[in-house]
């Protein structure tokens, strides 16, 4: 599957109806791939696909549902005939004092952030294996998979599971020519970030404080994350597998 030109390659980006997923899909379209975007909101998804143009289409999916990941990949194969790249981006945010978080919230976070990611990787990996040409899987994790931050324990654990999955899957799927890597964004300027910032008592002061803690002294733009995904999904990264690439302005290097 990886032997054709960019225009022959097909990517699936989950969680692509808002935030980072939209920019990742936009970058892959610009790279010349045909891109299937997925998410739960039909209205938002169709709007994003229309904006991205003829090289993109939307398939609705609630990946927390049993069997949804396989059905999504099957749909891609029926319409596009192949799958070369999976970007495992679908996720939900979660904050809360660890000792007070209800069990149902823990389960819901892991259902989407960890179990759905595993199911998508399995379904896409089977498609890439049967195609015989390999492929590239990029899991979107977080800097929080590698550090501890109060109130983010459950979210961090769900992303840490995907980081561990990335490394193990890279070794297990290498014989099939399937590369598995992760991109670990730091604080990025997404709608979720804007919503969080607006809720702070002094948004300007909070943003300056956040930026000051980052060596490059700025918040990431979605395009910064998309560029990292673009590289790991490309033939130029054909000898790169099992890595987690921080896109965090040097935060984890401190």
Active-site residues, by number, are 155
User: What is the chain's length?
Assistant: 254
- Give the integer Cα–Cα distance in Å for 101 and 110: 13
**What is the DSSP code (8-state) at residue 199?**
T
**Residue appearing with tokens 């002094």:** 202
Instruction: Give the count of beta carbons closer than 10 Å to the beta carbon of residue 132.
Output: 10
**What is the DSSP code (8-state) at residue 142?**
-
Pairing of strands 34-39, 10-13: parallel
- Give the integer Cα–Cα distance in Å for 105 and 59: 27
Q: Are 188 and 181 a contacting pair, CB within 8 Å?
A: no
Q: Are 69 and 91 a contacting pair, CB within 8 Å?
A: no
- Give the integer Cα–Cα distance in Å for 148 and 226: 25
Q: Are 247 and 184 a contacting pair, CB within 8 Å?
A: yes
């Amino acid at each position: 599957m990886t032997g054709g030109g960019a225009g022959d390659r097909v990517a699936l980006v989950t969680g692509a109806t808002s935030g980072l997923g939209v920019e990742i899909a936009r970058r892959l379209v610009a790279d010349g791939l045909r891109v299937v975007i997925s998410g739960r909101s039909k209205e938002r998804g169709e709007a994003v696909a229309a904006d991205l143009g003829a090289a993109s289409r939307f398939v609705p999916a609630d990946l927390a549902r049993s069997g949804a990941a396989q059905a999504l990949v099957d749909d891609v194969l029926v319409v596009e005939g192949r799958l070369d790249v999976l970007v495992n981006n679908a996720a939900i945010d979660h904050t809360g004092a660890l000792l007070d978080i209800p069990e149902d919230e823990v389960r819901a976070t892991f259902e989407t952030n960890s179990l759905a990611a595993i199911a998508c990787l399995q379904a896409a990996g089977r498609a890439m294996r049967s195609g015989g040409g390999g492929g590239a899987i990029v899991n979107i994790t977080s800097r929080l998979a590698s550090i501890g931050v109060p109130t983010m324990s459950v979210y961090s654990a769900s992303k840490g599971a995907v980081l561990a999955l990335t490394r193990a899957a890279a070794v297990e799927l290498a014989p099939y020519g399937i590369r598995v890597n992760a991109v670990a964004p730091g604080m990025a300027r997404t709608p979720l970030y804007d919503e969080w910032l607006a809720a702070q008592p002094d948004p300007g002061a909070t943003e300056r404080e956040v930026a000051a803690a980052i060596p490059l002294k700025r918040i990431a733009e979605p395009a910064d994350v998309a560029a990292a995904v673009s590289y790991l999904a490309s033939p130029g990264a054909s000898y790169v597998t099992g890595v987690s690439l921080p896109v965090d302005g040097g935060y984890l290097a401190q």
